Every structure is written in structure tokens, then in C-alpha cells.
Chains A and B, each alone.
Chain A
């Protein structure tokens, strides 16, 4: 009984405290926390798609040792770039998702979390596989995020790709 009484008292007091008019005390940065632009993710996603296409098209020039070595070298380099750019795309997307977008954006973009989650998953898929469909899906996901981002700023920047 006393526990209930104290709990009620505590809740009442909490309510009173939280209705008190209060001046603000700042616990934030005075400068902008960051400059955000989905362009970084777009460039990385484009590189992933480009490397994927190159890998699919790549074949050794011949059966001699020099041709096989050249093929292995180029293949490895393309894979390394694809890996690196996929990771970069994921990082850029996660920055937008977690730092730029705020809970209030969910009201305007209810599928925001789902879009970012799927885009991040596509980055992983592109890293692990040589899959042109996944790479194209990633670029499409980045385009969707581009639209969300700029419309959240009240702008409608065109989607322009480098390739």
C-alpha cells in the first residue's frame, strides 16, 4: 500500500516538475553538426555498379601465364574496389540515416527506416556477390534516398549520375 502511495506521489511530482516553465540550457553544438549530401553515397553506389559490370565482362586475353596473371590482377583490383566502394556507400547511407534524418521525418517518410535498412543490406549483398541486379537495386535505393533527402529540405534537386 505504501509502495503504491509513494509511486503515485512520485508520478504526481514528476508531472509537476515537467510542467514547470523552464529556461533552456544548451547542450548542443554551436556550429552545424555536419554537412550532409547523398551525393557521396551515389558516387560509391555508381562505382559498385561499374565494377560489377566490369567484373562480369572480364575474361583472360589468352591461356598463357601472362594473360592469366593480368586477368587475376585486374579481377582482384576490381573486386577490391567493389568491396571498398560498397562499404563506403553503406557508411555514407548510415550517416544520413542516423545523423541527418530525425524522428520527425518519419511522419513524412513512413518507409524511411525500411528504405535505409534495405539499402544497407544491398551494400552488403554487392560486397559479397558479383550481382548486377543488386548493384542496380542499390543505385535505385540511393536515388530514392536522394529524393527523400532533398524533399526534406524543401528542394527537388535533379538526379544526375556521373557514369
Chain B
């Protein structure tokens, strides 16, 4: 766990509901399957997360939010990390499991353009 970063995020609503299913079907929300352990204990391998796509109207990212971003160095690869700090519209993204995470410490600060969405729900298997 990174010093200063909030503990595993328990605030995200984890119970599945019809509204979430509906928003997934109509495409208002997107969903992804987590691979890897860099976000443990918050996210485990195999967890399903839903996120809302960012657009110019809803950029309300805060420190502590979990976000989906395009990998800055590998095409067509998505990463999931937590916002650790924000420097002049650039984002320091870190994994909750700092010992097993390649994040801004290696990848550098992530531009806002690369951030695709903000995770709002987590469903464990």
C-alpha cells in the first residue's frame, strides 16, 4: 500500500442491480475484467468493473479515484490504477499493491487524454 493513499476503496457499490445492467446494455456504462494483482486488495484478478466514459462534461477526477487508462507505451492495452496525485492536469497513477505494480513510478505521469473512464462499480466473482 502506498503511503498516503487511502486504504482499499470500500465505498464503491458492489451489489449488482438492474439499473447497472440496464446502463451496461444501453452502453452508458462500460465493463472490463481485471487481470493481475497490482490493485489488490481493492481489485482482485477476475473482478468485473464498470466505468463511465469520460467526456468534456464529466471530468471530475479526484485523488483516490480508480480509473481506466490507455497504456502510454503499449497500443490497445488498458490499465487500471488509482489516482495518487494530480500535477497540472497530469495524473500520477499508482497501483494499490505497490510491490506488484508498474505505474507512474515507471510510466511517468499520465495525460488526461489517456484516461478513458472512472470506475464506479466492482463485482467480485
Residue of B nearest to A22 (CB): B33
**Total A-B Cβ pairs within 8 A:** 80
Q: Which A3-38 residues have a C-beta within 8 angstroms of B?
A: 9-10, 13-14, 16-18, 20, 22-31, 33
* B102 near A30: Cβ-Cβ < 8 Å: yes
B54 near A: Cβ within 8 Å?
no
Residue of B nearest to A6 (CB): B15
* B102 near A25: Cβ-Cβ < 8 Å: no
* A26 near B17: Cβ-Cβ < 8 Å: no
* A20 near B48: Cβ-Cβ < 8 Å: yes
* A25 near B35: Cβ-Cβ < 8 Å: yes
Interface residues on A, range: 10 to 19
What is the bound-complex CA distance between A20 and B123, given in angstroms? 12
* B38 near A14: Cβ-Cβ < 8 Å: no
Residues of A within 8 A of B115 (CB): none
Interface string of B59-78 (1 = CB under 8 A from A): 00000000010010010011
Residues of A within 8 A of B17 (CB): 13
Point out residues on B near A: beta carbons under 8 Å: 15-18, 21, 24, 31-39, 43, 45, 48-49, 68, 71, 74, 77-81, 95, 100-102, 106, 123, 125
Point out residues on A near B: beta carbons under 8 Å: 9-10, 13-14, 16-18, 20, 22-31, 33
Can you give 9 contacting A-B residue pairs, CB < 8 Å? A13-B17, A13-B18, A18-B125, A27-B39, A27-B45, A28-B35, A28-B36, A29-B36, A29-B101
